[in-house]
């Protein structure tokens, strides 16, 4: 079993270009499935199961077992997706002739509208940082998240040399290590320059190969660090929402559509492979418009 999982891990890394988080989630789901299979096959404790024996009935039983464990539809879908991916890999490598997941229908997930911020809420957050080095860094982070619609992983991966002020773009590496150019607004570049000027004044390296956003110890800022920074300003501005870094990306897309951007352009800006992924924001935009109507029209 370990050889099969090791080969699948290499496949995720080298061919799928899956992110570290995706690899961790898929492998964790697969190992949980292996424990279930061992139990189903009557294996002794600690004895590895034969994953090649699994069939459609095994998959349906496992799905029912996960439901009994109280997993959400989203988590259940992730587990089944990981198993489906694993067996497709085995068929592709000619380890199996028949995919045992082929007859198991994918779980339909309920579509949840993404959270977003109103413009005045964004403005309050952007205006909150002070003029210290950390404050200038935080201001630049918030401006880049909102001004470019970057994923937090893309933001923390930026180097000083990732920026091209001549054309107003940042070069980022998105999901699957795919490179794309993200336009950043003038406000974002001004905030970045203000932050880098302060770094130079304090003698902190800011060459092309240096990380753009540093923690207070001088290392590259992490995803967790960005989330903590946002939490700080949410509390400072007394906002009663749970705001993750991704909410800025949702707000970026929603505000573009509300102000007349076409869906295809927003797809390109977000780096989505399929326009169906971007279409969720049209629902958000419509929901917002209806909310405004209900709140402001005297005959609503």
175 classed as catalytic? yes
Looking at residue 207, what is its pLDDT? 84
In the predicted structure, residue 174 carries a pLDDT above the cut 80: no
Same domain, 82 and 204: no
Same domain, 124 and 83: no
Question: For residue 104, is it within any domain?
Answer: no
Catalytic residue from among 84, 115, 175, 223: 175
Catalytic residue from among 115, 180, 232, 272: 272
Looking at residue 110, what is its pLDDT? 58
Same domain, 35 and 146: no
Catalytic residue from among 8, 89, 195, 281: 281
Same domain, 268 and 137: yes
Total number of domains in the chain: 2
Question: For residue 17, is it within any domain?
Answer: yes
Given 48, 77, 92, the domain boundary residue is 92
Looking at residue 71, what is its pLDDT? 83
Binned at pLDDT 50, 70 and 90, residue 300 comes out as: low
Question: For residue 11, is it within any domain?
Answer: yes
- Taking Cα atoms as reference points, which of 227, 200, 196, 231 lies closest to residue 213? 196
Same domain, 138 and 273: yes
151 classed as catalytic? yes
Three-state secondary structure of the chain: CHHHHHHHHHHHHHHCCCCHHHHHHHHHHHHHHHHHHHHHCCCCCCCCCCHHHCCHHHHHHHHHHHHHCCCCHHHHHHHHHHHHHHHHHHHHCCCCCCCCCCCCCCCCCCCCCCCCCCHHHHHHHHCCCCCCHHHHHHHHHHHHHHHHCCCHHHHHCCEHHHEECCCCEEEEECHHHCEEEEECCHHHHHHHHHHHHHHHHCCCCCCCCCECCECCCCCECCHHHHHHHHHHHHHHCCCCCCCCHHHHHHHHHHHHHHCCCCHHHHHHHHCCCCHHHHCHHHHHHHHHHHHHHHHHCCCC
Given 73, 92, 111, the domain boundary residue is 92
pLDDT tens, 213-267? 999 899 999 999 999 999 999 999 988 888 999 999 999 999 998 888 888 888 8
Question: For residue 138, is it within any domain?
Answer: yes
Catalytic residue from among 79, 249, 250, 255: 249
Catalytic residue from among 139, 151, 250, 255: 151
Same domain, 125 and 69: no
Mean pLDDT within 65-72: 86
Same domain, 136 and 284: yes
Same domain, 74 and 145: no
> Which residue range forms the structural domain that includes residue 77?
2-92
Same domain, 79 and 125: no
Q: What's the pTM?
A: 0.67
Question: For residue 166, is it within any domain?
Answer: yes
10 classed as catalytic? no
Question: For residue 266, is it within any domain?
Answer: yes
Mean pLDDT within 130-138: 96
Please state, for a pLDDT cut of 90, what percent of the chain lies above it: 38
The domain spanning residue 186 has which CATH number?
1.10.443.10
Looking at residue 196, what is its pLDDT? 96
Give every strand in the sheet of 163-164, ordered side by side.
Answer: 163-164, 169-173, 179-183
Question: For residue 99, is it within any domain?
Answer: no
Given 48, 74, 92, the domain boundary residue is 92
Question: For residue 109, is it within any domain?
Answer: no
Same domain, 145 and 278: yes
- Taking Cα atoms as reference points, which of 214, 281, 213 lies closest to residue 246? 281
The domain spanning residue 74 has which CATH number?
1.10.150.130
Same domain, 263 and 137: yes
In the predicted structure, residue 106 carries a pLDDT above the cut 80: no
297 classed as catalytic? no
In the predicted structure, residue 150 carries a pLDDT above the cut 90: yes
Same domain, 73 and 127: no
Mean pLDDT of the residues in the chain: 87
Mean pLDDT within 190-217: 92
């Amino acid at each position: 079993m370990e050889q099969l999982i090791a080969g699948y891990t290499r496949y995720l890394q080298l061919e799928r270009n899956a992110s570290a988080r995706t690899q961790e989630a898929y492998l964790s789901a697969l190992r949980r499935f292996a424990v279930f299979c061992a139990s189903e096959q009557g294996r002794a404790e600690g004895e590895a199961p034969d994953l090649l024996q699994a069939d459609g009935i095994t998959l349906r039983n496992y799905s029912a077992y996960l439901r009994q464990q109280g997993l959400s539809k989203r988590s259940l879908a992730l587990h089944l997706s990981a198993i489906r991916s694993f067996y497709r890999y085995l068929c592709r490598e000619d380890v199996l002739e028949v995919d045992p997941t082929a007859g198991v229908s994918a779980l339909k997930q309920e579509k949840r509208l993404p959270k977003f911020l109103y413009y005045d809420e964004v403005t309050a957050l952007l205006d909150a940082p002070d003029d210290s080095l950390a404050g200038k860094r935080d201001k630049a982070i918030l401006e880049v998240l909102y001004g470019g619609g970057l994923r937090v992983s893309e933001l923390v991966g930026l180097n000083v040399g990732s920026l091209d002020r001549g054309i107003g773009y940042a070069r980022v590496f998105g999901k699957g290590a795919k490179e794309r150019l993200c336009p950043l607004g003038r406000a974002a570049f001004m905030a970045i320059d203000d932050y880098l000027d302060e770094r130079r004044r304090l003698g902190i390296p800011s060459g092309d190969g240096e990380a753009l956003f540093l923690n207070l110890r001088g290392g590259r800022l992490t995803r967790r660090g960005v989330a903590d920074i946002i939490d700080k300003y949410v509390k400072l501005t007394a906002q009663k929402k749970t705001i993750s870094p991704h909410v800025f990306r949702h707000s970026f897309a929603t505000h573009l559509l509300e102000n007349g951007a076409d869906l295809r352009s927003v797809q390109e800006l977000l780096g989505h492979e399929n326009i169906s992924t971007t279409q969720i924001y049209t629902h958000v935009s419509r929901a917002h418009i209806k909310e405004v109507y209900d709140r402001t029209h005297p005959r609503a």
